[in-house]
Structure 1
Amino acid sequence: MTMKNGLLYIALLAGGFAACNGNADNRVLNDSASTSRTDTANDSMSVCFQRYAGPLRQDTFTVHLVIREGRVNGELVEMPFEKDARRGTLAGTMKDSIITATWSYMQEGQQDTLPVVFKIKDGNLLQQPYVYDGKTGRETLKDTSAFSQEFVPFDCRKIPKQKS
């Protein structure tokens, strides 16, 4: 799948979500309230996804992606229940349906980065999970990691705002 086909796939996905939400136009321009949107002026696509985890599904993870000409920017927010959140920016590339990026985040007043790999499949976003490396004390990605963490489309308006 080429980048153009990838953007077309996402645009079709966005149209489907808009149709499900009763939007007769099927294209929402510059509307941060939508699940996804296409800005025809700069050929970019903005989409949001969310997943819940933990024994009671109280851990919340959200992703906002802006995809333009093979470049990906956005935000990833991890909010484990009753633990410190990690919030930061994503910057990377998309080839076919695979997004490879660097997540620059803040946690407990400390700035850090981690690699992140996503895959868009069947309208959802899949992420490779991290494994803890006891020797370095850091999370890492294994090259053989399956895309086992599934995010579903999500309304961008509902992404938790950073507390001031």
Structure 2
Amino acid sequence: MKFKYLPILAITAAFAACNSNPNTKTADSIAADSANNDTTAQAAAPGHICFLNTEGTQKQDSTKVHLMIDGNKVTGDMQWLPKEKDARKGTLEGTQDGNIIKAVWTFMQEGMKDTMAVEFSFPGDKLLQKPFKVNAKDGRQVTDAKADYTVVYDKVDCK
């Protein structure tokens, strides 16, 4: 072998080493990994359920609710994500009595922490919420306790 080909051979060997994948898996190992990392199984777990409500002229504003129900205890999170306004993202903690869920939503908005009582009806594949109204005395939003459950959320996969 002539020495003038040695650099070309070394470069070719280095390139081949860089392109080899030491993490190459067989189809069986990929299938086993996917079964272990299946998030669908988590989403289908009892008491773990998610909902979505979209509003606005072009359905551009959304509210996501993720509930974890354990007996009569309800926890989870709620995110109000309007297109042109500051979002509210936070946690839910409350109780369920029959189909009625009453919880406190602790959220952050514009860098400020706040809380609000929320009330849902959970008759099955839909989640219904009592709407908010503005308290005339302090200008804050509150759940309209006298209203019907008019805000409708559709069941979605938890992601």
Query: TM (normalized to structure 1)?
Result: 0.70
Pairs within 5 Å for 1:26-45: 32-33=39-40, 36-38=43-45, 44-45=46-47
- Match of 2:109? 107
- Match of 1:81? 83
State the Cα deviation string for residues 57-97 of structure 1 (Å, max 9, x = none): 10011000000010000000000112110000000000100
Q: Partner letter of residue 102 of structure 1?
A: V
Cα distance in 2 for residues equivalent to 1:57 and 1:31: 30
Q: 1:34 to 1:148 in 2, by over 3 A?
A: farther
Q: Which has the higher contact order (CA 8 A, sep 6+)?
A: 1
In the TM superposition, residue 122 of structure 1 has moved relative to its aligned partner by 4.0
Pairs within 5 Å for 1:11-160: 32-33=39-40, 36-38=43-45, 44-157=46-159
Q: 1:97 to 1:31 in 2, by over 3 A?
A: farther
Q: Name the structure with the higher helix share.
A: 2
Q: 1:155 to 1:109 in 2, by over 3 A?
A: same
Cα distance in 1 for residues equivalent to 2:39 and 2:50: 10
SS of 2:52's equivalent in the other structure is strand
Unaligned segments of structure 1, at least 5 residues: 1-29, 39-43, 158-164
Cα distance in 1 for residues equivalent to 2:39 and 2:103: 23
Q: Partner letter of residue 143 of structure 1?
A: A
Asked whether the equivalents of residues 35 and 153 of structure 1 are also in contact (C-alpha less than 8 Å), the reply is no
Q: Partner letter of residue 147 of structure 1?
A: Y
Unaligned segments of structure 2, at least 5 residues: 1-36
Cα distance in 1 for residues equivalent to 2:75 and 2:63: 17
Cα distance in 2 for residues equivalent to 1:79 and 1:141: 18
- Match of 1:24? none
Q: 1:68 to 1:90 in 2, by over 3 A?
A: same
The share of aligned pairs that are identical, in percent, is 37
Across the two proteins, how many residue pairs are aligned to each other?
123
